[in-house]
Amino acid sequence: MMSEALFRAVMLTLCRSMAVAGLCTLLAHLCLPTLKQVRLVKRFGWLLLIPIFMPPLVIGYAYSNVALSLIRHPILNDLLYSLLLAIRFFPVTLLLIHMAPPAPLSAAAMHNLKLARRSRWTSFILHGQGRVLVMAFAVVFVLSFTEFEITSRMACTHWSIWLFDAQVGGAPLSSTLRWLMLPGSVSLALLWLVFMALPTRAQRTSLHPTPSSHSLRLRLSLLVGWWLVSLLLCLIIPWWWVLKPAIGAMPTVITKPEIWQEIGYSVMYAALSTLLIGMFTWLLGFTPRWVRWLMCLPGLCGSLVVGLIILGLFQTNTFNAMYDTPLPLVLALTWIALPAALILAPILRQRSTGQHLTWLTRLSLNKQHQTLARHLHWQQQVRSMLLLTGIIAYITYHDLPASALLSPPGMQGAVVRLYNLMHYGKYETLSAMVVLTYMLPPLVLGLFVMISRGRKLPDHG
């Protein structure tokens, strides 16, 4: 039975995702004091985020030949795939734990619970730092559990690939949605842990023990070593394997209008969904917390889940007339990237007493004060908006599962076409198309970062 095959794929994906999330959470917990204590790491800590912005389809495409050579050794291939996932999602775990609110109880209160003979692990999970670790574990688990692009090229057993192949292979949508209930319930259960771990109000700052200098050096060595390995496996080797054959075919590919037209479609879908996300983020800012969390749930369950839900919605009689338009794909991309917008917007937006200072400074007639007010406004509002726009556009441009399911006829994006061509193996022309397609988003994102960091406060001294 196909349902039995799906059950085995879900169980294997479940075990793999738990291992990846556990490894990422443990390493992040060990390396976190380094971010807070070592000045050099605090200054250049953003370099740890580089693996996040490596396109996953490029990673899968680069390692597809390695996966093919390991076809007789599926365990080794699965270990390599799990390592790539851990490298890719470790920065997410580190960022979540670093930016999460402190634990509800301070270190002194935790010690009092220990003296009162309360269960050590229960107190750690419910009231201590374990609450944050559980939240980070659940988020990374869901990211690994719903991953699609890398596993699609490395031929690993994964429920998302099984379900996607069943849908495009002609299975009835009603059956696909019924099969989706099993992996979807797993994702929702883990996301419920995230919701329970999030604080309902601002917590007071808890005490964090400072590690010894010897321990700090060991943690720093671990962090630097992991970062170097991540750069090698997740950035340098993939791009080298893609760029080397692409150089010879680039002059031919760059003159083809089809690839530029497909890139244009991808940019159009990303731009429209980014505008919708901006509007929804503003509107949801006036709603209760549980409403924003509810809107995040579908997107957090993964692109394939959203794509199948939108596909089922627009095949009903009510919305069937708009099925072959860009609307289903734009709505799906909006839903997929909305969680990132709702999570990152409060972090990037600097809400503090500085905003009140900006408002007061703008009332001054002094030109230097007005210049200061413009600079503060840039720092607090414009810069965060540019960074958020660039990140959301980057996410929507790279989406594959929903785009493959919902692209209207004759308006297929570049990423979907690349995915279809990758089924025929690696060759020079395809490598050149991959480079051309994925060259644009980093340049645009880098431009946003440069603009956001480029405005300096004039020196009036």
Domain boundaries, the chain: 1-200+219-245, 254-461
Residue-wise pLDDT tens digits, 368-382: 555 655 555 555 556
Burial class (CB in 10 A: 0-12, 13-18, 19+), 327: middle
Which of 42, 38, 142 shows the shortest CA–CA distance to 93? 142
Distance CA 164, CA 305 (A): 10
Residue 197 has pLDDT above 70, yes or no: no
Fold match flag (1-200+219-245 vs 254-461): yes
Query: Is the domain defined by 254-461 classed in CATH 1.10.3470.10?
Result: no
Mean pLDDT rounded to a whole number for the chain: 79
Residue-wise pLDDT tens digits, 315-324: 888 888 898 8
Distance CA 411, CA 312 (A): 20
Q: What is the rounded average pLDDT of the residues 405-423?
A: 91
Residue-wise pLDDT tens digits, 252-270: 898 989 999 999 999 999 9
User: Among all chains, which residue has been given the structure tokens 């509007």?
Assistant: 279
Q: How confident is the model at residue 115, as a pLDDT?
A: 52
User: What pLDDT band is residue 351 in, cutting at 50, 70 and 90?
Assistant: very low
User: What pLDDT band is residue 349 in, cutting at 50, 70 and 90?
Assistant: low
Q: How confident is the model at residue 417, as a pLDDT?
A: 92
Number of C-beta neighbours around residue 218 at 10 A: 14
Residue 79 has pLDDT above 90, yes or no: yes
Helix axes 173-197, 130-145, angle to 10 degrees: 160
Which of 165, 153, 136 shows the shortest CA–CA distance to 9? 165
14 alpha-carbon distance from chain centroid: 19
Class of domain 1-200+219-245: mainly alpha
Residue 186 has pLDDT above 90, yes or no: no
Residue pair 289/282 in contact (Cβ under 8 Å)? The answer is no
Q: pTM of the prediction?
A: 0.82
Residue pair 65/155 in contact (Cβ under 8 Å)? The answer is no
300 alpha-carbon distance from chain centroid: 10
Which of 148, 81, 54 shows the shortest CA–CA distance to 405? 148
Please calculate the CA angle 164-90-123 and round it to the nearest 5 degrees: 105
Lowest-pLDDT choice from 5-14, 190-199, 226-235, 299-308: 190-199
Residue 101 has pLDDT above 80, yes or no: no
How does 155-175 read in b/e, with b if 16+ C-beta sit within 10 Å?
A: bbbbbbbbbbebbeeeeeeee
Residue-wise pLDDT tens digits, 291-345: 887 888 888 888 999 999 999 899 888 888 898 899 999 999 999 999 888 877 7
Task: Give percent of the chain above pLDDT 90.
Answer: 31
- Give Cα separations from 422 to 64, 226, 235, 294, 447 (angstroms): 9, 30, 19, 36, 30
Which of 138, 47, 57 shows the shortest CA–CA distance to 100? 138
Q: What is the rounded average pLDDT of the residues 13-25?
A: 93
User: Among all chains, which residue has been given the structure tokens 């559990």?
Assistant: 145
Which amino acid makes up residue 171?
A
333 alpha-carbon distance from chain centroid: 13
Q: How confident is the model at residue 342, as a pLDDT?
A: 82
DSSP 8-class letter at 205: P
Residue pair 62/232 in contact (Cβ under 8 Å)? The answer is no
Residue pair 150/81 in contact (Cβ under 8 Å)? The answer is yes
Distance CA 439, CA 257 (A): 17
Task: Give percent of the chain above pLDDT 70.
Answer: 74
Residue 35 has pLDDT above 60, yes or no: yes
Distance CA 172, CA 2 (A): 13
User: What pLDDT band is residue 401 in, cutting at 50, 70 and 90?
Assistant: very high
Distance CA 281, CA 111 (A): 41
Lowest-pLDDT choice from 70-84, 99-113, 199-213, 299-313: 199-213
Of 352 and 421, more confident: 421
329 Cβ contact partners less than 8 Å away, ≥ 6 residues apart = 269, 402, 403, 406, 407, 408
